[in-house]
Amino acid sequence: MIISSKLIKILIHMILIFIGLIWIFPFIWMILGSLKTNTEFMISGNPIPDGFNWENYSRAWIDANFSAYFLNTVIMTVATVIIVVFLCSLTGYALGRVDFPGKKTILGIVVGIMFIPKGYTIIPLYELVDQLGLTNSLFGIILAESSGAHTLFVLLFTSYFATLPKEMEEAAIMDGCGFVKTFFKVMLPLAKPIMATTVIMQFIWTWSSFLIPTVLTISKPELRTLAVGMQNFVGQYSTDWAGMAAGATISLLPVLIVFILMQRYFIEGVAGAVKQ
């Protein structure tokens, strides 16, 4: 589709920029807030700080232990993303390319799971991880974070793999590749767009995931993640708002970077899957 009139185009740009500014105002407000003193934060509605209190950042990074949390979060998120991509691409490949008895049932289950009524699941999840002996290590959190049915991702992979031409697979077999090798060497690399989609979405979710890491790190504060560490600023009766704003700014950046780097693949990925 083409928008032709020049005037309309300029108008649209102006509107987009104006709304865009309002759109990101809360973030500008947050970043400015991260430079206020805590008292200033609580008593003043003026978004512009009186002075630049960079020590909020050092307080977040050092005193509130964000440097360690940052590393934990990176490890947890990256590992979870890899596991999820791995699990979903395998399942998606099997469902998309192989006819086997029970395939329809499994597909039905994958979709149906989205609607299973869940009660309050965090306590049994904790018990389970505890019984596996994995509380108190990042691995337990990673495993718990990787749980879930991942309906959307599985379906994306399934429909994507289903559309790849048969000849590609046959050529690989001619070259002497087995089922597994074909998948890893030929087919999976073709699924980049879907992988990007999965990576971005899972990255966002895991990065800011709160309840699971909170509960699983109750006795191991050194394993906490950024989202959980944010709570260090919130006491039961007092809150370090400025420090929290600084912490929030720190934790926003990586996700933003991942999105900017991968957004091209991301849209393609969803588009590729929707075509079918």
Partner 1 sequence: MARKNSNLSKSIKSRQMWAYIFILPQAIVFLLLSLYPIVMSYVYSFYSWDGASPLTDFVGFENYTELFYSSRFWGALVSTIIYMFGTTILGVGASLVLAIILNANNMKGKAFYRTIYFIPVVATTAIIGVVMKNIFGVDGSVNQLIQSVGLTEKPIPWLNTSTLAMTLLIVVGTWKNLGINMIYWLSGLQSIPAELYESAQLDGAGFWKTLYHITLPLLKPILLVILLLSVVSGMNAFDLVKTLTNGNPYHTTETLDLYVFNYAFGGGMTGSTTRMGYASAAGVMLGMFTLLISGIFGLITMYYQKREKKEASR
Partner 2 sequence: MIKSFSKWTLLLLISVSLLSACSSNESSDSDTTTLTFWNRLPELSTDFEAFTQKFEEENPEIDIEIETLGASGNQQYQTAIKNEELPDIFVTANVTSMKSLVEQDLLHNLNDVITPEAKEDFYPGVWSENFTTIGEDIYQLPLNSGKSSVLMYYNKNVLEQYGISEDQIPSTWDELLKVGKDIYDESGGGVYGLIMGAEATWLSDMTINQMATNITPDVHPSIDVARQINYKTGNPDFLNDGNVETIEYIKQLMDENVLSPASVEYDEPTAIANFAAGKSAFYFDGNWAGSVLVNEEEGPGFAEWGVAPMPTKDGGAYYSDMVPKEGLMVSNNTEHWDEVQKFLNYFIEHGYEEVIIKSGAHEPPMDIEVSDPPFEQYNKLNEINAQNSIATPSIYEQNNKTIDFIQNYQAGLSYSVGSILAGHLQGEVSDPTTELEKAQEEAQKVFDENVEKSEDVNQSDFVFDDWVPFETYTTE
Residue 140 Cβ, how far from partner 2 at the closest point, in Å?
A: 10
Residue with tokens 């996700």: 255
What residues from 11 to 70 belong to the interface with partner 2 (CB under 8 A)?
Answer: 38-39, 42-43
* DSSP structural state of residue 176: T
Q: Which region, judged by CB under 8 A, interacts with partner 1, from 20-28, 55-63, 71-79, 184-192?
A: 20-28
| Position among 45, 51, 176, 235 found at the interface with partner 1 (CB under 8 A) | 45
DSSP 123-158: HHHHHHHHHTT-TTSHHHHHHHHT-S--HHHHHHHH
Rule CB under 8 A: say whether 236 interacts with partner 2: yes
Please choose, from the candidates 88, 237, 97, 197, the residue with its C-alpha nearest in 3D space to the C-alpha of residue 148: 88
Residue 219 Cβ, how far from partner 2 at the closest point, in Å?
A: 6
Rule CB under 8 A: say whether 27 interacts with partner 1: yes
Rule CB under 8 A: say whether 192 interacts with partner 2: yes
Site string for partner 1, 123-162 (x = CB under 8 A): xxx-xx--------------xx-xxxxx-x-x--------
Measured in whole angstroms, how far is the alpha carbon of residue 227 from the centre of its chain?
13
| Residue 239 three-state SS | strand
What residues from 99 to 138 belong to the interface with partner 2 (CB under 8 A)?
Answer: 123, 126-127, 130, 136-138
Cβ-in-10-Å burial (0-12, 13-18, 19+) of 252 comes to middle
The three-point CA angle 205-202-245 to 5° equals: 35
Residue 71's alpha-carbon distances to 29, 66, 167, 217, 240, in angstroms, are 27, 9, 44, 15, 22
| Position among 173, 215, 255, 270 found at the interface with partner 2 (CB under 8 A) | 215
Residue 273 Cβ, how far from partner 1 at the closest point, in Å?
A: 8
268 and 191 Cβ atoms separated by less than 8 Å: no
Give me the numbers of helices (H) and strands (E) for the chain, helices first please: 15, 0
Site string for partner 1, 214-233 (x = CB under 8 A): -------------x--x---
Two tokens, residue 219: 């006795």
Rule CB under 8 A: say whether 164 interacts with partner 1: no
Binding partner of residue 52 among partner 1, partner 2, none, CB cut-off 5 to 8 Å per kind: none
Residue 39 Cβ, how far from partner 2 at the closest point, in Å?
A: 5
DSSP β-bridge partners for residue 234: 239
Nearest to partner 1 of 138, 244 (CB atom)? 244
CA 30 to CA 15: how far, in whole Å? 24
List residues binding partner 2 (CB under 8 A): 38-39, 42-43, 75, 78-79, 82, 85, 123, 126-127, 130, 136-139, 142, 188-189, 192, 195, 214-215, 218-221, 228, 231-240
